[in-house]
A and B are shown apart, each in its own frame.
Chain A
Amino acid sequence: MLKRMLILALGLFSFMAFAQSARQSTLVVGVDLGDLITLDPQVSYEFSGSLITDNLYETLVRFEGNDLSEVQPSLASTWSVETQADGSHKIVFNLRDASFSSGNPVTAADVVYSFDRAIGIAGPSSFLITDVAKMTVGSTVAVDDQTVELNIPADANPNIVLNLLTFNIGGIVDSKVVMEHEVDGDFGSTWLRENSAGSGPYVLERWDAGAQVILTANENASRVGPIKRVILRNMQESSAQQAALESGEIDVAYNFTPEAFNAAKSNPDYTALQTDSFQMTYLGMNSGEGKAFADNRIRQAVRYAVDQDGIINDLLGGLGRKMQTIIPFGLFASDDTLYYERDVEKAKSLLAEAGADGLSVEFLVSTGSCGGGIPCADLGAKIQSDLAEVGINANIRQLPQSELLDIYRAQGAELVVVGWSPDYPDPDGNATPLGDYNAKSLAWRNDWNNPEASELAAAAALEADSAKRGDLYGQLTKLVAEEGPFAILYQPSVPIVTRAYVQDFIRNAQGNVDFDKVSKTE
């Protein structure tokens, strides 16, 4: 009898120990997965899609941890850049030994397939490959099993190309497995949407739409960490994440409100991480001929009217940096000069000079949340009251994000508050869209055509000498800060709160987290 009880107790004990270790090696993240559409690395272009695919697939080169200044080896152990006589570039990558989760080795053919696949699918982020890197089918060539050559034309900057290959669109897929699942020339994207075939530290175990994504350790991976299972739970309400973190139901929460985040800082059970981002939240002012903000004095008046400190300190609870130029902190050539200071009187006199007393504009505000996780509605209301103080009447029109973008894209917005993040961590990721009208991006959307800014942006993009490049960007940021169609509001931080026992949860400014680096003590 005693013996049986002993066995039972032992069994129970070992079960509990097992449960305990399962908890130790499982990381549960509460995050808003509302934007998740696909887990195909060549299609995904959303925040949560990138976060996940970065852990399923490896790229040729990558950034390590928080350091985004220089690309590091990943699937490629070494590479070299040669500029040809005609000015075009050849990048040669040497692959290291690695295998996919299926056991197949990673070969040059997989790299060629993956890049051509990105071009063939023409997904939402494919312009990075086709328009920025200016690659076509045939640009990527397998020299032998371990060597890949990438040929890009003279008007593409090889540093920027290396930079954007760190994105999930550059993730290398297992060509043998994916080709087995091709249907009607879809490059297997229907299958890869909810399956994985990569060499990253995790494989996709399941995706319960609207509820959760579960990753388990990839047994064939070269990157191995203590966390064997990652569960990303879809929690759209901040209050829900707060409650779940408190009860230990989740280990990491992504969407704390500024208030809750500041309270978490003094809680010994929590670690509050104010992580960087390259995002910026800004006001766009339509500067086209005959439009409300055609006169730069009115744009200046708006810049002088907005209470940046109030927004950052009170509304964001400090979760943002004051910024007035188009190149954010953390990027090469970022410009932290403050070109203007809040000055209600000056704004009023600028408006009077421009003959714009009693100016009334339509102000587009998204129904969703803006940088730093605050509702755009709150930010819009704050700006509306700031502008009212100097005599500008901004009539808020609240729209779903998608509808707002649609109007903005067609140059249809008079005044709009939105966010932007560069497509790749290089100043060009901001300078061209925000400075160059011809890029048909943000400068165009606000109908601001300044040939000098266009030239500066184009020249800086291709400049190889970094001192000269920095100088060109300095001129550009000053020009746009003083004359551009934007009032930059702030560069938001992403507030992440973890239980104190979670170690090494590092989110870099691009939003990537290496789950294999994370561990749990307890």
Chain B
Amino acid sequence: MNELQKRNLRRFVKNPGSMLGSILALIMILLALFAPLISGDPLAQNLSERLQAPSSSHFLGTDQLGRDVFSRVLQGARISLRLGLIVVSLSLLVGSVIGLAAGLLGGFWDDFLMRITDIFLAFPALILAMAISAALGPNLNNVMIAVAAVSWPSYARLLRAQVLAIKHVEFVDAARALGATQGRLAFRHLLPNSITPLMVQASFDIGSAILTAAGLSFIGFGAQPPIPEWGAMVSETRNFINEAPWASSSPAIAILLTVLAFNLLGDGIRDVLDPRSSQR
């Protein structure tokens, strides 16, 4: 670890926001990983124990089918985190390829690819995702495709900007002078230099992917019951908000905390890596 990395790490640790974010995210990831060990059966129904208030046997009460809300929220963590990661990987992949191609090829291709990106940015995200999910048929996999379809353009733009910024920096010119091919250039030099802003964007996007996917499930274009997806859980229990607020609020707060964790993490990474913004 060199001096710079040490300094960055120190800065990251000293920032209360980023620490809180990392701890929250870590807790969420651990809960998700060990959910099968901690939680009971998220699908087990007991109709005689419907809409029970939180108690020692049900930490977060029960829902309208007498299912244990705590177990469902825990299992939901697995679903949502997995979804967030897959969506971000997908959009990162598609966005990087398009952004790199646009930045490196330049000229007509740059214009063309960026206009396609503009088209996707011109759609209101949820309406486009809703249309795609409705067209493909609502289930978790298609939700991932739908959400990725609305989130890749930011990566394309970001990478293209990075490519343009780095393109004329000396070491790239030097490499080109030494006869490196375009492809080699892209992967050996440009990608590593773009990693930091991508990490920031990815961290924010995990949160927003989870939020969007849950929104889709809420209006019926997402996870299938009885899958304990958080957005679907809020939707299924929303008519009991007055009698049993825990049933809909627990998954909603789980969404809130997860999104918050990744937003704080993104903020933290940005502050550390972009010294100019750290004074903010």
Contacts and interface: CB of A to CB of B under 8 A. Distances in A.
Tell whether any CB of A sits under 8 Å from a CB of B in the complex.
yes
Interface of A: 237-239, 242, 257, 259-260, 310, 314-315, 365, 367-368, 375, 377-378, 380-382, 384-385, 396-400, 403
A397 B64 contact: no
Q: Which 5 A-B pairs have the closest CB atoms?
A: A314-B47, A377-B225, A367-B220, A381-B226, A398-B224
B198 interface: no
A377 B242 contact: no
A338 to B, nearest CB: 20
B130 to A, nearest CB: 11
B241 A239 contact: yes
Contacts of A365: 224-225
A239 B138 CA distance: 26
Interface string B240-279: 1111000000000000000000000000000000000000
A368 B243 CA distance: 22
B65 A381 contact: yes
B45 A385 contact: yes
> Looking at chain B's contact residues, is the secondary structure mostly helix, strand, loop, or mixed?
loop
Given A314-B48, A377-B236, A384 B138 contact: no
8 contacts: A237-B239, A314-B50, A367-B220, A368-B220, A377-B232, A381-B43, A381-B226, A382-B65
Contacts of A242: 242
Interface string B210-231: 0000000000100011100000
> Looking at chain A's contact residues, is the secondary structure mostly helix, strand, loop, or mixed?
helix
A381 B45 contact: yes
Nearest to A315: B47
A315 B238 CA distance: 16
Nearest to B63: A378
B82 to A, nearest CB: 19
B51 interface: yes
B137 interface: yes
B134 interface: yes
A378 B224 contact: no
A365 B47 CA distance: 20
B47 A259 contact: no
Interface in B24-65: 43-45, 47-48, 50-51, 64-65
Contact of A237 (B51, B220, B236, B238): B238
B274 to A, nearest CB: 44
Contacts of A260: 243
Contact of B225 (A259, A396, A400): A396
Nearest to A242: B242
Contacts of A399: 137-138
Contacts of B44: 385
A400 B139 CA distance: 11
A259 B43 contact: no
A400 B220 contact: yes
A259 B240 contact: yes
Nearest to A373: B239
Given A384-B226, A397-B224, A400-B220, A375 B236 contact: yes
Nearest to A314: B47
A405 to B, nearest CB: 14
B220 A257 contact: no
A263 B8 CA distance: 60
B68 to A, nearest CB: 14
A239 B236 contact: no
Nearest to A385: B45
Nearest to B222: A398
Interface string B127-149: 00000001001110000000000
A396 B65 CA distance: 16
A239 B50 contact: no
B65 A378 contact: yes
Nearest to A401: B220
Interface in B93-142: 134, 137-139
